Amino acid sequence: MEKVMDESSQGNSLVLEGKETNTKKLFIESYGCQMNFSDSEVVASILTKEGFNTTQKLEEADLVLVNTCSIRDKAEQTVRKRLEKYNAVKKINPKMKVGVLGCMAERLKEKFLDEEKIVDLVVGPDAYKDLPNLIKEVEEGRSAVNVILSKEETYGDISPVRLQSNGVSAYVSITRGCDNMCTFCVVPFTRGRERSRDPQSILEEVQDLANKGFKEITLLGQNVDSYLWYGGGLKKDFEKATEMQKATAVHFSALLETVAKAHPKMRIRFSTSNPQDMTLDVIETMARHKNICKSIHLPVQSGSNRVLKAMNRLHTREQYFELIDNIRRILPECSISQDMIAGFPTETEEDHQDTLSLMRRVKYAFGFMYAYSERPGTMAGRKLEDDVSKETKQRRLAEIISLQRELAALSTQQHLGKTEEVLIEKESKKSDLHWSGRNTQNTTIVFPKENYKVGDFVMVKVEDCTSATLIGTPVGYSDNN
């Protein structure tokens, strides 16, 4: 994977507030998508009630959990290296137990226990509430596994324990699973069918975050635009719903508007969108509310219609352009970011050039770019020969990355001379004299600390930039404080 975006998707251990009466230590580490990080907060909440406080010190942990990603082979190899590290520590501390959570657990299931014998428990994304029982099994000397996928579980009744990282930004999961059977993707198999969370539980979680002083939330799902609540049931079963349920159904645009109206001083973001499901009413809702950030992550994966069809992406190049044109018309200041796969099976040089021309047309601000990695169990893995050479994949990926860097530089240059609102999130990585935050377009801005603090909304005049970061001078508080 290569990314041109000033955000980290590397592993991260959680540091969470615990209870003074808890005596056991939990070390939990997350890899992959934002949903995994959000899920780890749910897991930490469940285990806090079971006597565990979290720790950053692996060596003192009673229980070590790694929340895993299966989207690329490289992600799985990273997790395996971490498991080797955990087991090395376990030899010194034999009472320590090791568990695998998430998508990799769902994909490999009992293989971790029976063949590799490198973990004590294996827990799929829909089985976290069973963790207390599974831990008991392990403590009694038995290996434990639960990878049963659910049609109902959303964890809407769990109040996640939040990161102490900044107390400013938080994720709020609104959907789980995915019904889009893209041929390259394992998510429908590792996270199950798509289901949406009760909007009331979402509003209650956002209110709780507001009460605790959080200033920004991200509504999160594998595909947020297909959020649909009609009193229960899977999205695919909506046709069977009663007329009353259909009439009172809550779609994503309505949820987004409700959250924005309820918390006008709180920034609202959402991720991830699917081009086939993003509707005009979502874009129009974004335009009506200043506090809904003007950035959309809109993965396209390829610029070639032939490859899009082979990927089972239910949109064409032309339909994608139509959506982009509507975004530019309704939200001219909106930034758009992408996911792109280089070297999908059967991809020709002409297909690759279609991808580059699409990128030039859209002018993405950010991007996540990958060489195709065959995933066992996917339709592409079963039906398509991985016939693009590694060298060709890497060369095409390098060209995509190079172009994205050019586009990102053009994007940041457009901010020069403007005064923009920034939410301070943390200290700058490169200077302890500067703050770092993001503007509404999700671009990082660094500026001198002066008397401001984390969580402040500050107006910053942009004076310089790199391809990923804006550099400026604060000119005062915004009216959003």
User: Which residues are part of a known binding site?
Assistant: 33, 69, 103, 178, 182, 185
Taking the alpha carbons of 257, 258, 261, 263 in that order, is the dihedral positive or negative? negative
Number of neighbouring beta carbons within 10 Å of residue 24 = 15
Instruction: Tell me the two tokens of residue 22.
Output: 């808890």
Distance CA 361, CA 356 (A): 9
Residue 420 neighbours by CB under 8 Å, 6+ apart:
439, 440, 445, 459, 460, 462, 470, 472
Mutual angle of helices 34-48 and 131-139, in 10-degree steps: 70
Taking the alpha carbons of 232, 160, 103, 216 in that order, is the dihedral positive or negative? positive
- Quick check: 354 and 317 in contact, CB under 8 A? yes
- Quick check: 156 and 201 in contact, CB under 8 A? yes
Which residues belong to the annotated binding site for [4Fe-4S] cluster?
Answer: 33, 69, 103, 178, 182, 185
Beta strands in 305-357 (DSSP E): 335-342
Residue with tokens 């998430």: 102
Q: Which residues sit opposite 341 in a β-bridge?
A: 370
- Quick check: 291 and 267 in contact, CB under 8 A? yes
Distance CA 415, CA 195 (A): 39
Q: Are strands 97-102 and 121-123 parallel, antiparallel or unpaired?
A: parallel
